[in-house]
């Protein structure tokens, strides 16, 4: 009969199986990836096989789960911030359009202004769909001397507002815009 090498896989298998078979009742038995049943060793002892009993894999899984949760939370916050910025940019663009409508309305009304200095204010009529979104445009005019008027247009939409100051001058019998400042 051939002598077996003490380091051969057959000998190691029998040793490992003997340790499992010798495990006392109530002791935990682990199964490595290769399928060899092994008894968990006490701390500091050599283990047979490639697996570890205990919580290393569980701790690693929990750490990865926590990192995934943090990444998802950060992505959600970024998406919400991007949505908010996009919404504000849309409202700002519509507010600028409302200011242009108010300035155009003031220029049309300028043909009816009396020659003497006058202060007046009015609301610009807006389409119903803009009014439903709490939109309004108010125009106030103050004359500053002969042939110069300062028009302040305030647009409001969905709780936000924007202001524009338009300076109009009387040239050749007509009122023309000579200067405009957003926010002024």
Domain boundaries, the chain: 98-182
How many residues make up the chain in this entry? 184
Rounded CA separation 41/57 (Å): 17
pTM higher than 0.75: no
The pLDDT value given to residue 8? 57
Cα dihedral 17→21→47→4 (10° resolution)? -30
Rounded to 5 degrees, φ, ψ at 128 are -60, -35
Rounded CA separation 113/57 (Å): 83
Owner of token pair 């990444």: 71
Q: Report mean pLDDT in 10-residue bins for the chain, 184 residues.
A: 56 55 50 49 50 76 96 97 94 92 89 71 86 86 84 91 91 85 78
Instruction: Evaluate whether 134 touches 95 at the Cβ level (below 8 Å).
Output: no
CB atoms within 10 A of CB 137: 24
The pLDDT value given to residue 176? 85
The pLDDT value given to residue 4? 55
């Amino acid at each position: 009969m051939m002598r077996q090498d003490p380091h051969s896989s057959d000998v190691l298998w029998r040793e490992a199986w003997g340790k499992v078979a010798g495990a006392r009742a109530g002791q935990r038995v682990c199964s490595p990836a290769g399928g060899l049943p092994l008894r968990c060793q006490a701390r500091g002892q050599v283990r047979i096989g490639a697996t570890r009993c205990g919580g290393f894999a569980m701790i690693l899984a929990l750490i990865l789960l926590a990192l995934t949760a943090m990444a998802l939370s950060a992505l959600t916050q970024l998406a919400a911030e991007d949505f908010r910025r996009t919404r504000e940019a849309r409202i700002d663009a519509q507010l600028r359009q409302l200011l242009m409508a108010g300035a155009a309305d003031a220029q049309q009304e300028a043909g009816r202004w009396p020659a003497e200095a006058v202060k007046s204010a009015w609301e610009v009529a807006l389409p119903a769909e803009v009014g439903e979104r709490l939109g309004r445009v108010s125009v106030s005019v103050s004359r500053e001397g002969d042939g110069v008027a300062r028009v302040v247009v305030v647009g409001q939409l969905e709780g936000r507002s924007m202001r524009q100051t338009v300076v109009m001058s009387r040239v050749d019998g007509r009122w023309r815009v000579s200067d405009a400042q957003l926010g002024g």
